[in-house]
Structure 1
């Protein structure tokens, strides 16, 4: 496989391990009453739910294993769509609109892998400290009780989130890169350290913009996928069937108004910036060792 693939895969795995503690907090804040958890807690309270070092990496197995497939699908779809839509030949610079559309198509193509990954990851992360689950156990239980369809529960909202999110990821990275490159050139700033700072800053900003653009969709996705398994959702002592995305949205709004759709956004933004910065650093380092530099995002961890 190409150097770009392995650099992307490794940088994504590092980012997952670094960002997972904050991702666990984010998912638990988002899940609310739809999950096995009881009352949503503030981020500081969520930290104390970690029972040990293993809790900090809970839910990482599924996205790490699927990262290679996600990279392949996303990069292939993005590159081919960009080449198809680009005006002026293969050496021309793609417009920002082309970058968004190509990213959106690439993100949509990844749903076949990202939906089961998200199901397993989120259900693992909300498991209680008293009865912790791992990714393998969650996947086995889901397959045994719900079959293959169970791994794709919430697939529509996941596909919508991925499509819009990756569109803004590629778009925001290209926009910020061009703005900063223009300013650096006008000031004669071309050192290796300044170039590295530009890459890290643009990658971090792209991660924040991406999550801000799709966070309400991610809250809905999390609540859909983390509903209590079995006969339904426990509400006021009564068992109900599991709800779809529209019903989840209505119930969430009744629960906390518009604010509920942004619960955990601060934690997620901090995580997105630093995780993407680290991923870019690892990506660039590996690309220097393995092969020629590619102007592509280093990982599909943005939306995992």
Structure 2
């Protein structure tokens, strides 16, 4: 049989490693949906909230009361706009890993709890308890990795206050890597874990409260225990697209307000350790912040509470902005992945979040 008219035989198709394979990319997105959502949301929300986080740390560490506006003016006059972003690279580069790990542990723990048959009823109590357990597991796990980065961030944000406590003058603050090297040189590797116990308490309790509240608010706003979003309730008929922002903002502000004193104590302990000042336990630090250093003449209780909650206004605005943006972008990226992967095997499954 003459095959000459058929032309040359077709060569098997090969895909160059430099060829953009849309199907492979979509499969990566689908298989790593939670990681992609958490990474994008974390990067954007971190950039939005970092200047306010920097002001919050400075307000907590200030030895005398100062208004946020005056502090911001002083920072801008002495350090410029870069002063508000001092130490941003550490959280910006690592927050995606920490947040992705947090969301992954949270989601996996919820799946395990449901698989074991616990808290599977479609009611608020089961939703809240599941979110609390998953949040505690997430917060207690990630703090081992996030504690060194948190310490370095505090060091960079409070560079001038720490130098003043040491009795030295700095013309130009060291960069992030130099700050890490100095901590390790003076304290050793475990010097990066100064203040870890309070960090552990803050992250475990705070993350448990945060996810419990977020899941509870989402349930009240129409999402069932399987993660399917329904219509919002008639008593708060906000657009469905804004539900993640609303729930994230409320959960972020309220949970942060509850654990704020623990964060103040943590920051103060870390500041003293970085300044080579004598160590004080968390209880002693808390008591001095609440009642003052003079045991014979303690400050009024309300004044002490004001000291413990110094910077809360800035922190509340930051939490509202960052956590609202985080969940808004998280859901938006999830819908974008759904549209890209529509029709693929495994697409359309609602994640346990």
**TM-score of Structure 1 vs Structure 2, range by shorter chain:** 0.7 to 0.9
Encode CA deviations 1:223-275: one digit per residue, 9 max, x unaligned: 11112635x32xxxxxxx23232232232223352221111111101110011
- Residue 89 (structure 1) shift: 7.7
Encode CA deviations 1:192-228: one digit per residue, 9 max, x unaligned: x811111111111111012112100000011111126
Counterpart in the other structure of 2:157: 125
Check conservation: 1:20, 1:58, Cα contact below 8 A: no
TM-score under structure 1 length normalisation: 0.82
TM-score under structure 2 length normalisation: 0.72
| Count of equivalent residues | 281
Segments of structure 1 that go 5 or more residues without pairing to the other structure are: 34-38, 234-240, 297-304
Counterpart in the other structure of 2:87: 59
- Residue 145 (structure 1) shift: 0.9
Counterpart in the other structure of 1:219: 264
Counterpart in the other structure of 1:273: 320
- Residue 55 (structure 1) shift: 1.6
Residues 127 and 217 (structure 1), Cα distance of their counterparts in 2 relative to 1, 3 Å cut: same
Residues 209 and 32 (structure 1), Cα distance of their counterparts in 2 relative to 1, 3 Å cut: same
Decide which structure has the larger Cα Rg and report it: 2
Residues 7 and 275 (structure 1), Cα distance of their counterparts in 2 relative to 1, 3 Å cut: same
Check conservation: 1:28, 1:40, Cα contact below 8 A: no
How many Å separate the matches in 2 of 1:250 and 1:262? Answer: 14
2:128 pairs with 1:96 = yes
One of 28, 50, 58 as aligned partner of 2:58: 28
Structure scoring higher RCO (CA < 8 A, sep ≥ 6) equals 1
How many Å separate the matches in 2 of 1:185 and 1:55? Answer: 42
How many Å separate the matches in 1 of 2:84 and 2:211? Answer: 29
How many Å separate the matches in 2 of 1:180 and 1:31? Answer: 38
One of 204, 219, 243 as aligned partner of 2:249: 204
2:168 pairs with 1:143 = no
How many Å separate the matches in 1 of 2:272 and 2:111? Answer: 41
Bigger drift between 93-102 and 272-281 goes to 93-102
2:38 pairs with 1:8 = yes
Check conservation: 2:220, 2:233, Cα contact below 8 A: no
Encode CA deviations 1:136-161: one digit per residue, 9 max, x unaligned: 22211111111111110111110110
How many Å separate the matches in 1 of 2:200 and 2:270? Answer: 13
Residues 13 and 69 (structure 1), Cα distance of their counterparts in 2 relative to 1, 3 Å cut: same
Check conservation: 2:214, 2:248, Cα contact below 8 A: yes
Bigger drift between 100-109 and 54-63 goes to 54-63
2:180 pairs with 1:155 = no
Counterpart in the other structure of 1:41: 66
Check conservation: 1:69, 1:113, Cα contact below 8 A: no
Residues 188 and 251 (structure 1), Cα distance of their counterparts in 2 relative to 1, 3 Å cut: closer
How many Å separate the matches in 2 of 1:73 and 1:120? Answer: 20
Residues 247 and 91 (structure 1), Cα distance of their counterparts in 2 relative to 1, 3 Å cut: closer
Bigger drift between 88-97 and 46-55 goes to 88-97
Segments of structure 2 that go 5 or more residues without pairing to the other structure are: 1-27, 161-169, 224-229, 293-302, 339-347
User: What is the root-mean-square deviation in Å for CA atoms of aligned residues?
Assistant: 2.7
One of 103, 128, 141 as aligned partner of 1:109: 141
